[in-house]
């Protein structure tokens, strides 16, 4: 048994040493999920069992409350799929599975059943009171140089290669939790950290080669679990990035697929059309739909076929396994519209059954609100489809923000886009953002104008939705395609770095200016109930000045964005009296400027006022 397999078993399986039946050359290498829990709402569990000629055996289980409902084989003789029922009355313990062959030989396998965590969360775990901080782990900080290159993975560390592994890891994130917390962040989202055993370009994490194993260059499953515990201890939450659409060519099953239809396969390599609107288009052609849902992202990212019910079950169970194992607060699902959308809806329903308040956000890369609303509904769409999603990635707001704060931009675009909110089930749950790992850096897109970056930050952190920032944007990271440039290393994350941007003294004056601006809004935001729970009321922008209010019955904040390259003296607030009624004064939370009257204010060029209103 090789080192890789042993490491997998260390996740929690007790393995009987002799797992070979010599008579028929039968062996047992892997069982997934590697362990499970009693007390789950859904009492069904399907085990994927892998080993040479394992399909020639009959599994037998004698454990109170656990019964085998069915056993299935596919094309490869080296797989068994065992469907179990684990009754609510079943107790935790070690489940002995015997695999008997025709000659009476027996393989024995001990499988752990643990107690499910008891959660009494009464509200959505991640909501508009939170701010998400997205980190690309390989590029954030290197906390353990000993795992920069590992024996069980192909690609070795090479920090000089912008597309290579740079050595960042989970320990690096752990080491800088104080920085993240002090910035004012409440929630972490890491790009995928599971094993990506590809020969090159593996650092991004989206070419998974083992769905149950942390990439050894990032650390171990325990390291991730520790990160969640430490984050929770600091009052922060953690989102895991998951992928159902594809795996990596280095995945262990690629050399022995359970069945040909495990993947979406074509006569020749066929790339996806990457046109997400196809999934909701009522007039779509079958050929376009097939290209979206069956085409490959790239030649090194085999497209998984969720029409295969065994694979669909495998991935859904894997998602639940990570929630329970790591005590996750949320999941971000990559490329949500690409796989079989009915299976994706089944996945969200299974998650809600087990974890009703778990935050689930889908990557839904479409530019128009009308298309995005297909995935954010309170009721089924016209075609009968209901995604059962809690949150979507609000690209329409992202593009409107870039247009508004770009060259000669007009904030009317923000107003116009938000006016489409009537088509969503719950727009306040949309994940809003001004940067991520797939787009050019915010500072670069806004022409390296810090005043425009500040306007973007002020808007994203005060409008409706759940904000998400990308690491480094708070200190003016620059960069555009290729991806390796925009996903740059955080200065100070490596012992050999000459600059440490994690500290005030290691940042330039301009970087500190941006950091302090973002930090001020974030830390005010933590206690701003009108942002967490309040409604949004906005007024038609005139002369490129946008005014809106976030308010509850008892609290209100007025945001004024002057998107002009000139100041405006004595800007009248009379037009906003319906929102100012009952308030007589206020304080700008950014500068601590007090306003003893709410009749007129002076606006600096390209600036925002965030005025906490007072009675």
- Residue 63: other Cβ atoms inside 10 A: 17
Residue 148 to residues 151, 155, 488, 494, 559: CA-CA distances in angstroms? 10, 10, 17, 12, 46
pLDDT of residue 353: 95
pTM of this structure: 0.95
pLDDT of residue 521: 98
CATH 2.60.40.10 domain position(s) in the chain: 3-115
Give the pair of three-digit tokens for residue 504: 């005030």
- Name the one residue in this structure whose structure tokens are 């952190």: 461
Nearest of 589, 519, 518, 512 to residue 557 by alpha carbon: 589
Helix 450-460 with 509-525: angle, nearest 10 deg? 10
pLDDT in tens, 258-285: 999 999 999 999 999 999 999 999 999 9
Residues 6+ apart with CB under 8 A from 346: 312, 316
pLDDT of residue 4: 34
pLDDT of residue 105: 87
Helix (H, G, I), strand (E, B) or coil at 603: strand
Handedness of CA 242, 247, 248, 252 (dihedral sign): positive
155 is catalytic: no
Q: Which of 363, 473, 483, 489 is catalytic?
A: 363
Classify residue 209 by its DSSP letter: S
CA distance 479 to 122: 42
Secondary structure (H, E, C), 397-455? HHHHHHHHHCCCCCCHHHHHHHHHHHHCCCHHHCEEECCCCCCCCHHHHCCCCHHHHHH
Nearest of 423, 454, 431, 455 to residue 546 by alpha carbon: 455
Residues 6+ apart with CB under 8 A from 252: 30, 209, 210
Architecture of domain 531-614: Sandwich (2.60)
- Name the one residue in this structure whose structure tokens are 């390296």: 448
> How many alpha carbons fall within 13 Å on the CB side of residue 606?
16
Q: Which CATH superfamily is 3-115 part of?
A: Immunoglobulins (2.60.40.10)
CA distance 433 to 331: 16
CA distance 33 to 323: 13
pLDDT of residue 12: 34
How many Å is the maximal CA-CA distance in the chain? Answer: 93
The residue ranges of the chain whose pLDDT is under 70 are 1-24, 120-122
First to last CA, the chain: 72
- Name the one residue in this structure whose structure tokens are 């894997």: 318
Residues 6+ apart with CB under 8 A from 309: none
Contact 593, 551 (CB under 8 A): no
Contact 331, 360 (CB under 8 A): yes
Residues 6+ apart with CB under 8 A from 418: 397, 463, 464, 536, 538
363 is catalytic: yes
Give the pair of three-digit tokens for residue 203: 């650092």
Q: Which of 130, 334, 473, 530 is catalytic?
A: 334
- Residue 6: other Cβ atoms inside 10 A: 10
Alpha-carbon Rg for the chain in angstroms: 26
Domain 132-248+328-526 in CATH 3.40.190.10:
no
**Angle made by CA atoms 445, 450, 455, in degrees to the nearest 5:** 85
Residues 6+ apart with CB under 8 A from 579: 537, 549, 551, 556, 558
CA distance 138 to 135: 9
CA distance 112 to 194: 22
CATH 2.60.40.1180 domain position(s) in the chain: 531-614
CA distance 395 to 336: 14
Q: Which residues of 387-399 are buried (b: 16+ CB within 10 A; e: fewer)?
A: bbbbbbbbbbbbe
CA distance 60 to 449: 67
């Amino acid at each position: 048994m090789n080192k890789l397999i042993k490491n997998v078993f260390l996740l929690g399986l007790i393995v009987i040493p002799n797992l070979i039946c010599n008579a028929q050359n039968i062996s047992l290498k892997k069982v997934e999920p590697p362990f499970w829990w009693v007390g789950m709402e859904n009492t069904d569990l399907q085990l994927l069992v892998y080993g040479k000629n394992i399909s020639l055996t009959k599994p037998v289980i004698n454990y109170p409350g656990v019964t085998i409902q069915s056993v299935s084989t596919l094309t490869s003789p080296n797989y068994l799929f065992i469907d179990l029922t684990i009754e609510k009355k079943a107790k935790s313990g070690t489940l002995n599975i015997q695999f008997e062959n025709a000659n009476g030989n027996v393989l024995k396998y001990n499988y752990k059943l643990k107690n499910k965590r008891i959660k009494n969360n009464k509200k959505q775990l991640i909501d508009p009171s939170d701010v998400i901080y997205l980190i690309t782990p390989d590029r954030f900080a290197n906390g353990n140089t000993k795992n920069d290159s590992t024996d069980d993975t192909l690609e070795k560390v090479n920090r000089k290669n912008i597309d290579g592994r740079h050595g960042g890891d989970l320990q690096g994130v752990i080491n800088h939790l104080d920085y993240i917390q002090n910035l004012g962040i409440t929630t972490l989202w890491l790009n995928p950290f599971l094993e990506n055993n590809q020969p090159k370009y593996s650092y991004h994490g989206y070419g998974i080669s083992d769905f149950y194993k942390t990439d050894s260059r990032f650390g171990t499953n325990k390291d991730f679990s520790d990160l969640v515990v430490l984050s929770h201890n600091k009052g922060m939450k953690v989102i895991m990035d998951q992928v159902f659409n594809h795996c990596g060519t280095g995945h262990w099953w690629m050399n022995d697929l359970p069945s040909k239809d495990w993947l979406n396969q074509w006569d020749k390599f066929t790339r996806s059309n990457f046109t997400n609107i196809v999934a909701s288009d009522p007039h779509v052609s079958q050929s376009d739909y097939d290209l979206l849902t069956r085409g490959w992202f790239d030649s090194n990212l085999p497209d998984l076929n969720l029409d295969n019910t065994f694979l669909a079950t495998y991935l859904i169970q894997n998602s639940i396994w990570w929630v329970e194992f790591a005590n996750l607060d949320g999941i971000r699902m990559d490329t949500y519209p690409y796989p079989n959308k009915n299976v994706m809806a089944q996945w969200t329903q299974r998650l809600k059954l087990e974890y009703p308040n778990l935050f689930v956000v889908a990557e839904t890369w479409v530019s128009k609100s009308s298309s995005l609303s297909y995935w954010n509904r309170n009721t089924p769409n016209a075609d009968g489809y209901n995604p059962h999603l809690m949150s979507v990635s609000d690209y329409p707001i992202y593009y409107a923000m870039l247009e508004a704060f770009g060259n000669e931009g007009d904030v009317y675009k923000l107003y116009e886009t938000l006016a489409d909110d009537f088509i969503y089930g719950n727009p306040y749950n949309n994940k809003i953002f001004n940067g991520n790992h797939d787009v050019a850096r915010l500072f670069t897109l806004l022409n390296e104008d810090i005043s425009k970056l500040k306007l973007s930050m002020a808007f994203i952190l005060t409008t409706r939705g759940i904000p998400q920032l990308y690491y480094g944007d708070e200190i003016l990271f620059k960069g555009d395609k290729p991806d390796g440039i925009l996903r740059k290393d955080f200065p100070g994350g490596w012992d050999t770095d000459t600059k440490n941007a994690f500290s005030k003294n290691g940042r330039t004056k301009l970087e500190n200016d941006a950091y302090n601006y973002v930090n001020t809004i974030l830390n005010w935001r933590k206690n701003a109930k009108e942002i967490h729970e309040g409604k949004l009321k906005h007024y038609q922008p005139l002369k490129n000045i946008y005014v809106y209010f976030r308010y509850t019955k008892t609290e209100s904040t007025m945001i004024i964005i002057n998107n002009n390259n000139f100041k405006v003296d004595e800007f009248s607030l009379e037009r906003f009296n319906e929102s100012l009624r009952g308030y007589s004064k206020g304080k700008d939370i950014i500068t601590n400027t007090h306003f003893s009257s709410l009749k007129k204010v002076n606006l600096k060029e390209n600036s925002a006022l965030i005025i906490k209103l007072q009675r």
